[in-house]
Structure 1
Amino acid sequence: MTARWTVPTRTLSSADLVALPKAELHLHLEGAIRPETARELADRYDLPLPRTGRFTDLGEFVVAYEQARDLIGSLEDLRRVAAEILTTARENGVVWTEVHLIPPTYAGRLGPDEAVVEAVLDGLASAAGPDAAAGLIIGVNRMLPVADADRSLSLALAYRDRGVVGLGLAADEARFPASLFEDVFGRAADAGLPAVPHAGEGAGAGSVRTCVERLGARRINHGIRAAEDPAVVDLLLERGVSLDVCPTSNVELQIVPDLASHPLPRLIESGVPVSLNTDCPLFLGATTVGEYALASSAFGLEPDALAAIARTSLVTSSCPADRRERALAGVADWRPTG
């Protein structure tokens, strides 16, 4: 991918960016509640709305995330939130979405873990159509007991024929390294289930290396701190690992102090494949189209570079082949008018 880190020669309209077919690969279900739905649920259950905007650290963000999860008071709420993710996808020209969910974090509050997974899968399926669909990534929370990691793997394998497309890993990577979960992800790999861990956000390049070498990851959520170690960047290039990057999230959670400090330009210039994503838009105000616009305005990406990112998002996803090929044809035909 060739990119120019200057003022772009063209200003792209929102309509142009919506028209670019793309995938959203780094999106958390509870962090993707639409704001109007969050207000309705908060009123219904007499609960506070989680705070939004810039957070002082990841710990403060976790508190807000747990408040968002608390807003979901029934399985029907889960179905609604899942279905509305595809409403947002259509508004942004996202033809395929991969949604992260960690069922054990509900701790049986809505019923058994199976009921939680089925509610989300039902919601996604009910809203799917030719222009938007989604798969589910069942996550492991690093901070829960190892038995819960086994539980997440069992759920992912049990529902892979109904829409589960990967096994994720999230939460405090500094205190709970990915190596603790090597056995779980080894069994996932043996069953053909892709590893889609978070790394290189709350810990450095070594965390990214561990996920690649010990978990067999070919996609990393975030991963931006790989740029701190040229040897890890070389590892990503050697193994064809892509990064699902969320620039607004990285700034608002103070992983980087500002966009000028963001390593995305260096990673792209090095040849590392990337996708652009919103992570947790409820708290951060991000949209997929907004992340592409930001990449253009802040980093100077020209339309061909944005199209290359959209293409990467599709070819590195678990999007069904027929849907992917149609979308890739749309990327090839994309001609912005702005």
Structure 2
Amino acid sequence: MPHDSGDRPPNPPNLQDTSAPHPGGSAADRDLRRLPKTHLHLHFTGSMRPGTLLDLADKYGVHLPEALSGGEPPKLRATDERGWFRFQRLYDIARSCLRSPEDIQRLVLEAAEEDVRDGSRWLEIQVDPTSYAPRLGGLIPALEIILDAVDRASSRTGLGMRVLVAANRTKHPLDARTLARLAVRYADRGIVGFGLSNDERRGFARDFDRAFSIARDGGLLAAPHGGELSGPGSVRDCLDDLDAGRIGHGVRAAEDPRLLRRLAERGVTCEVCPTSNVALGVYEKPEDVPLRTLFDAGVPMALGADDPLLFGARLADQYELARTHHEFTDAELAELARQSVRGSAAPEGVKSGLLAEIDAWAAD
């Protein structure tokens, strides 16, 4: 992984001027793609472009269900076990199309290009390398292929990129410990955090406390999923049992004022993914996502796209949703971008440079 010389932020990408009024807005609204920001919640396979999935499926003779080949995001609802199974099945089919180092390199480069287009200056992409190990020669070769792809994509696009390794909570906690040790071993190659993904209704956070202790002792950020499909109790478990420094999603904390105060006081960033929340049925409509509740309570947020392949929206769309459905002003959107920077694992020099860029956007 390249180190940022002098902790400078990556060179700002050349973005086309896409400024246009959002629905219900005015032409005076600043272009949200030009708002510098970081992206802290993007899953590996879920970052894929739909066209790339079609290409790879054709290359390997993989039959895609219409939900993945129809040109529109699939209709999902994961609030019950059957719905989550369908979501996971679609994700697994897409992942099965990633079979070579070249496929991995293409996915990561395109994910970086999409982030650059949306004004991201720093991306922490989340991956469970065990899911790719069978087709890439084993766990260690798979992780090295992924890290090499991230290194190349960062160099080609100028986007600061790092990796958050995530364990699967549906697997045995011993597997998570193995993965945590491996993540720490490769921390000098660009791994900055350790997460816990998949259906948060399965198992207990405390079962993975040892894995997270290994990761934290090795200098990695603890960033488990919680507070999406399960209620505020799952957020508390992440704080109490895993000593989380960031929470993947965390929106259900809005149901508990005391928990909101705790998150705000500790400065724990919630990686909120509004489009995902609606697509999976956590909330019925975009305006139901409690962005205002979290923001007004002082809970730091980092808006994220989660799985654009399945949800049809990328990073800038999340900011547009906050503007359109929650009436966030440009000043408030700039503050959301600042919160994403502060919650990242970027070096302090990179953070200060990005904060200055955000101030310039807001003052323009």
Distance 1:236 1:335, change over 3 A: closer
In 1, Cα distance between the equivalents of 2:268 and 2:103?
A: 35
8 Å contact 1:149–1:184 — kept in the other structure? Answer: yes
In 2, Cα distance between the equivalents of 1:59 and 1:264?
A: 27
After superposition, the C-alpha distances for 1:39-75 in whole angstroms (9 at most, x for unaligned) are 1101101113362333022222111111111110112
**Residue correspondence of structure 1 range 118-137 to structure 2 within 5 A:** 118-129=144-155, 131-137=158-164
Alignment partner of 2:293 out of 266, 274, 278: 266
Aligned to 2:35: 20
Aligned to 2:61: 46
In 1, Cα distance between the equivalents of 2:121 and 2:208?
A: 32
Aligned to 2:97: 71
Alignment partner of 2:52 out of 15, 28, 37: 37
Corresponding residue SS for 2:230? coil
Q: Does 1:115 align with 2:151?
A: no
Q: Does 1:55 align with 2:70?
A: no
Q: Which amino acid aligns with 1:328?
A: L
* 1:323 Cα deviation after fit: 2.6
Corresponding residue SS for 1:274? coil
Moved more, 309-318 or 235-244: 235-244
After superposition, the C-alpha distances for 1:210-254 in whole angstroms (9 at most, x for unaligned) are 101211112101000111112211221221111010000000011
8 Å contact 1:124–1:133 — kept in the other structure? Answer: no
Give % identity. 38
8 Å contact 2:334–2:362 — kept in the other structure? Answer: no
* 1:336 Cα deviation after fit: 7.5
Corresponding residue SS for 1:128? helix
After superposition, the C-alpha distances for 1:180-219 in whole angstroms (9 at most, x for unaligned) are 1011111222222110111001211010001012111121
* 1:121 Cα deviation after fit: 1.2
Distance 1:240 1:108, change over 3 A: same
Structure 1 stretches of at least 4 aligned residues deviating more than 4 Å after TM superposition: 7-13
In 2, Cα distance between the equivalents of 1:289 and 1:256?
A: 20
* 1:106 Cα deviation after fit: 2.9
Aligned to 1:4: none
In 2, Cα distance between the equivalents of 1:10 and 1:98?
A: 33
Corresponding residue SS for 1:166? strand
Q: Does 1:93 align with 2:108?
A: no
Moved more, 124-133 or 61-70: 124-133
Aligned to 1:300: 327
Distance 1:178 1:260, change over 3 A: same
- Across the two proteins, how many residue pairs are aligned to each other? 330
In 1, Cα distance between the equivalents of 2:28 and 2:222?
A: 35
Q: Does 1:250 align with 2:265?
A: no
* 1:320 Cα deviation after fit: 2.6
* 1:111 Cα deviation after fit: 1.1
In 2, Cα distance between the equivalents of 1:94 and 1:219?
A: 19
**Residue correspondence of structure 1 range 147-186 to structure 2 within 5 A:** 147-186=174-213
* 1:10 Cα deviation after fit: 4.6
Note the residue ranges of structure 2 that are not aligned, 5 or more in a row.
1-22, 68-72, 79-83
Distance 1:9 1:92, change over 3 A: closer
Q: RMSD between aligned alpha carbons?
A: 1.8
In 2, Cα distance between the equivalents of 1:165 and 1:309?
A: 22
In 2, Cα distance between the equivalents of 1:271 and 1:48?
A: 47
8 Å contact 1:138–1:155 — kept in the other structure? Answer: no
8 Å contact 1:8–1:301 — kept in the other structure? Answer: no
**Structure with the greater relative contact order (CA < 8 A, sep ≥ 6): 1 or 2?**
1
8 Å contact 1:8–1:300 — kept in the other structure? Answer: no
